[in-house]
């Protein structure tokens, strides 16, 4: 028996030794995210990260925090926990890249009813994969067992990322101009937004999530659990190759809430609906829920996980850079004068 074992605490529902086992199981996943020469970074009281600001005149740290939301219920129903961590990382790093910031490190927080070390390690494996995809280090985190507050099988996952950008290279709404081309970066389906509506419309508590769907080309559960696409490396390549004036991460609130966040007053994003590729999962939700089109575009990403406003003369350069990183880009509209923030036509 471990010297740290507490029979009294275990009787209250918290197994300290399970937490230590979870840490041991997750170490190999965390190691995948570490930059060369960084060494051990898990198990201490704080996460250390060596900050390289060479070549930056005025480095600015940029931070973002988010959680996965009720998409976690899909993972619980399917008993698959190794991708939900990608969503957690993506929701944070995709936000800070909108400022032009390169993610540096990430920390997670898992609240769980009962600490099952293998489940926790599976969750963290997804977090580590998200960090690898975005080029940032997983330098720490916390797992908290909450008996009596959460059911044994329940958990929640949140985290935050910190990145850096030279102030002179920060992306801001004031840079967007009339005539800029709008590029769409395709989504991976629902990503991690709107799942309260999704779960209601699709009645996921009673649906056969493992059954094949001809309409979706996969099972319903697979379509719902597909992780959020991470755009960091493609967008960094586009920033290096072209004059990118604005970036928006299309999350909760869809087109109508998120695209205006990268626009100054007096400019409108005019988007051609015919240029959009809309994943079948959105058509299914709209049909089964009898949801108006505007509500769909005001809730979901509708197949576009990120948009870039790019100087018209550099649109081909930006698209080539994105394609070079395996990210197909499509022209879906332009920036025009107007008081409406987003127009779909």
Q: Return per-residue pLDDT of the chain as tens, 345 residues.
A: 456 666 656 666 667 676 667 677 777 777 887 776 665 556 678 888 889 899 999 999 999 999 999 999 999 999 999 999 999 999 999 999 999 999 999 999 999 999 999 999 999 999 999 999 999 999 999 999 999 999 999 999 999 999 999 999 999 999 999 999 999 999 999 999 999 999 999 999 999 999 999 999 999 999 999 999 999 999 999 999 999 999 999 999 999 999 999 999 999 999 999 999 999 999 999 999 999 999 999 999 999 999 999 999 999 999 999 999 999 999 999 999 999 999 999
Beta partners for residue 219, in sequence order = 212
Measured in residues, the chain has a length of 345
Cα–Cα distances (Å) from 123 to 138, 202, 205, 244, 297, in that order, read 13, 25, 22, 35, 30
Tokens of 219: 């099972």
What pTM was computed for the model?
0.93
Q: How far apart are CA 323 and CA 328, in angstroms?
A: 5
Cα–Cα distances (Å) from 17 to 108, 150, 156, 285, in that order, read 20, 19, 21, 44
Q: Quick one: how far is CA 237 from the chain centroid?
A: 19
Q: Three-class SS of residue 104?
A: strand
């Amino acid at each position: 028996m471990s010297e740290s074992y507490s029979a009294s605490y275990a009787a209250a529902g918290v197994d300290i030794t399970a937490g230590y086992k979870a840490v041991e199981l997750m170490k190999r996943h965390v190691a995948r995210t570490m930059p060369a020469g960084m060494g051990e970074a898990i198990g201490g009281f704080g996460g250390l990260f060596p900050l390289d600001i060479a070549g930056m005149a005025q480095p600015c740290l940029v931070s973002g925090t988010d959680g996965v939301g009720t998409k976690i219920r899909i993972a619980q129903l399917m008993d698959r926990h190794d991708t939900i961590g990608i969503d957690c990382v993506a929701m944070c790093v995709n936000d800070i890249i909108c400022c032009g910031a390169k993610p540096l490190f990430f920390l997670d927080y898992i609240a769980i009813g009962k600490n099952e070390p293998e489940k926790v390690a599976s969750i963290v494996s997804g977090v580590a994969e998200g960090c690898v995809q975005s080029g940032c280090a997983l330098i720490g985190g916390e797992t908290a067992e909450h008996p009596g507050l959460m059911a044994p099988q329940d958990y929640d996952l949140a985290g935050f990322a910190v990145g850096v950008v030279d102030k002179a290279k920060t992306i801001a709404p004031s840079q967007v101009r009339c005539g800029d081309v709008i590029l769409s970066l395709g989504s991976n389906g629902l990503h991690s937004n709107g799942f309260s509506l999704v779960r209601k419309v699709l009645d996921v508590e009673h649906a056969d999530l493992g059954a094949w769907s001809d309409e979706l080309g996969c099972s319903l559960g697979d379509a719902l659990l597909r992780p959020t696409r991470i755009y960091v490396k493609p967008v960094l390549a586009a920033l290096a190759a072209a004059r990118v004036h604005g970036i928006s991460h299309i999350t909760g609130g869809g087109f109508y809430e998120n695209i205006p966040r990268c626009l100054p007053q007096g400019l409108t994003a005019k988007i051609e609906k015919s240029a959009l590729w809309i994943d079948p999962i959105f058509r299914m939700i709209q049909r089964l829920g009898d949801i108006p089109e505007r509500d769909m575009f005001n809730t979901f990403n509708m197949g576009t996980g990120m948009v870039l406003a790019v100087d018209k003369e550099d649109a081909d350069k930006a698209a080539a850079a994105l394609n070079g990183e395996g990210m197909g880009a499509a022209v879906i509209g332009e920036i025009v004068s107007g008081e409406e923030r987003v127009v779909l036509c």
